[in-house]
Structure 1
């Protein structure tokens, strides 16, 4: 470790010892799911980098609304064209190596996976190596930001495919690359339903600490329990096949809790206190967030709903502003008569039965023009053999399926469980299911807001991980004398594993 890096670590630790909050830079921030979780844990969100204009504005509106540099925070940026030092200058954060304590983000993995270990190791030796292969720009660029900022901790979120993309385990390679530039790293595959989010969302989370801190990576204990459906269990098995087959230094198995824990938060617990919307009465047109929808007076909020209403800094005591839905006049009868948990093949069969019933009531004969018109007005045209899970009606007693960015185009994957409402979920319901608090505002109109929500990391999941990092950094700051880096690093290098749940080595 060079003298400059050692001095930077000392300075950051000394600042934490004074009680100052750890500072975060959020790359690929989206609307700010990770930022929100870290802020709740006690971190200060110093800045973010996001290329989508709506998401960049959303992040600035929620985390820097009163900043004199609001315009700079709201500015959308491409990480491949943005220099770390220039970013710090634009945001007024000072020198890049002293600006932050924790770097977080979720760089896309698809292009990176073709690059592999050799290119990652090249980055460790040559900071500009990411420029020579644009296929891997985003991950390589993320690692260059790690080199530039020299954070005490690193946090990365990604899809399960990162564990078996193009026949190799990308997360393991990221661990190796981080180790080459001075970090101890580990990763896990965690389902958010085990941590209080009303959504069965599997994601890979990777955490790393500067080696000099003497910390080991650990992940939070489950707070809720759930028997995952067979489809999720199968997907997890596929995702972990290269972890199991090739072995792993960095993988840490998640805590799945026990049946004694509270059951995972259900859809009804998550959104049951929000006002009813009759899908049959909704008209087409642009959906703006300029109307306050009062909470239901006939429902008491669940414990989860109270968290969403009372989140520090984002509390709402009257209602929500973005409880808007799509107008889907063809489908509301089908939505009403589908059973909870039904998928598209059953939905189409339901629609056909509705047509036959109405045709019988009106004496409309099959094969006639009138029958064809009736059929087309009710039965969705999609092939039942393709994407059978494209439609899904929520179960009120169970967490929902993974929210995806695709809900920015349609919301058939999350049809409301209440037959009387006969509709898909609203923007605010999507936000609730993703664990965004009610006072968190999204920029743009309905479709961009849906997309931002689907792309986000659930804030409550991010918070569970952030609390671990906060506690570990606090322990390192309090128990590590400024000159003790060498001892801590030597002890860690003498260990054969980084997978044990030990908070720190030096006292």
Structure 2
């Protein structure tokens, strides 16, 4: 089946569809570093399909400083000249919006031209499935509370119109629209009612889940094998002529032979002190003969080491707070900001965001990783007091379910944003398997 991926980010949602042998026609993403990550991932899948992962490993071994990405890839393009053309058609670094109001935006007419070009390049003439979800900050409860009245005017509330217009134009059999639960309640429910109304007018039914009560259809990805509690809404739309039921994702969920604790996820990774590690270059696995957990074996498949594993430096005050947080976590208690010694406090606000320092406790499932990890690591503290630091990009990616061979391009801040905003590939694989069974025969 042919897929169009909108608001692609680093490719967490499309990864599952790659894994299930869908044909990804185009991926549209505004962030240049996320597009570089998509490019590297396209190279990985291309080389894997040709049984030539050694060429991919050579790219990793050569080092991938983000300032020399294009030069580092040249030897791959010389070996496979067609790959450059595939990437030029598939990875579209474009921003949705009105060019009259935003000079960086690309018109729908131009995007349609590029998608048509990608279809022609692939000898295809239609799209079976559209996937993706507009940026969710304006829908999310936290996002709306922080933005207050500006949320009502935020253009991101209307990005679904671009999604809608591409559905209208390409008339896929179905679409998957992933977002935060806040999409159901934004503007007191009026945003979602508008979404349903608009899709209904162009011939599509849209379902939030098996229940007739939308708020009861919020999914926790942790119930499908993802290693964190991550509550999201998966809107399933389809042409009315097909009369589909909402997909039953439970039949394809992942089963692990152990508890999904932070220890079971991260214990095989090299220990780092603050400032240690490497943002870009390959780091060899430690002690490959050790007993790995089921999850670690899965995440290491087709990998020769790890990337994006560099620890942030921390200030002395934060180090003391991290130590205190870790000791309390080991006793089953979470540090609350008012409980800090006065000399470690930096402000007087002791009524909001009291859990701003939070440890991924060793013997519990990790908590949800979000894009705020790009700003500081206080909410994502490593459980090992001997390391006393926040999570690396690779550790966050492990929690998100990205395989170790998934390289995130760009500066470390951009890497964190890509990981935090992503749909976990484990969940996207569950989605892709389920949709294939439901939609393929129609």
State the TM bucket, normalised to the shorter chain: 0.7 to 0.9
- 3-state DSSP class of the match of 2:394? helix
Contact 2:9-2:29 within 8 A present in 1 as well: yes
Question: 2:134: which partner in 1?
Answer: 107
The CA deviation at 1:475 is 3.5
Question: 2:395: which partner in 1?
Answer: 429
Distance 1:443 1:95, change over 3 A: closer
Please list every run of 5 or more consecutive structure 2 residues that lacks an aligned counterpart in the other structure. Answer: 45-82, 98-105, 141-153, 209-216
Which of 174, 198, 208 is equivalent to 1:153? 174
Counting only pairs closer than 5 Å after superposition, residues 38-187 of structure 1 correspond to structure 2 as 38-64=17-43, 66-80=83-97, 81-83=106-108, 84-91=111-118, 93=120, 98-108=125-135, 136-168=157-189, 170-187=191-208
Question: 2:235: which partner in 1?
Answer: 206
- 3-state DSSP class of the match of 2:237? strand
The CA deviation at 1:77 is 0.5
The CA deviation at 1:112 is 8.4
Determine if the alignment matches structure 1 residue 467 to structure 2 residue 440. no
Contact 2:337-2:354 within 8 A present in 1 as well: no
- 3-state DSSP class of the match of 1:68? helix
Deviation readout 1:465-501 (Å, 9 max, x if unpaired): 221111012343xxxxxxxxxxxxxxxxxxxxxxxxx
Which of 321, 328, 336 is equivalent to 1:334? 321
For residues 211 and 23 of structure 1, the distance between their equivalents in structure 2, rounded to whole angstroms, comes to 20
Deviation readout 1:137-180 (Å, 9 max, x if unpaired): 41111100101111111001111111111111644543343233
Q: Normalising to structure 2: TM-score of the pair? A: 0.75
Counting only pairs closer than 5 Å after superposition, residues 20-419 of structure 1 correspond to structure 2 as 22-64=1-43, 66-80=83-97, 81-83=106-108, 84-91=111-118, 93=120, 98-108=125-135, 136-168=157-189, 170-187=191-208, 188-221=217-250, 265-279=260-274, 282=275, 288-297=279-288, 299-310=290-301, 315-316=302-303, 318-330=304-316, 331-338=318-325, 339-340=328-329, 342-345=333-336, 349=340, 375=343, 379-382=344-347, 383-419=349-385
Answer with 1 or 2: which has the greater Rg.
1
For residues 173 and 137 of structure 1, the distance between their equivalents in structure 2, rounded to whole angstroms, comes to 10
The CA deviation at 1:91 is 3.4
Please list every run of 5 or more consecutive structure 1 residues that lacks an aligned counterpart in the other structure. Answer: 1-21, 114-132, 226-259, 353-374, 477-507
Q: What's the RMSD between the two structures over aligned residues? A: 3.1
Question: 1:244: which partner in 2?
Answer: none
For residues 428 and 27 of structure 2, the distance between their equivalents in structure 1, rounded to whole angstroms, comes to 16
Contact 1:27-1:50 within 8 A present in 2 as well: yes
Q: Normalising to structure 1: TM-score of the pair? A: 0.66
Distance 1:46 1:405, change over 3 A: same
For residues 347 and 263 of structure 1, the distance between their equivalents in structure 2, rounded to whole angstroms, comes to 36
Contact 2:278-2:307 within 8 A present in 1 as well: no
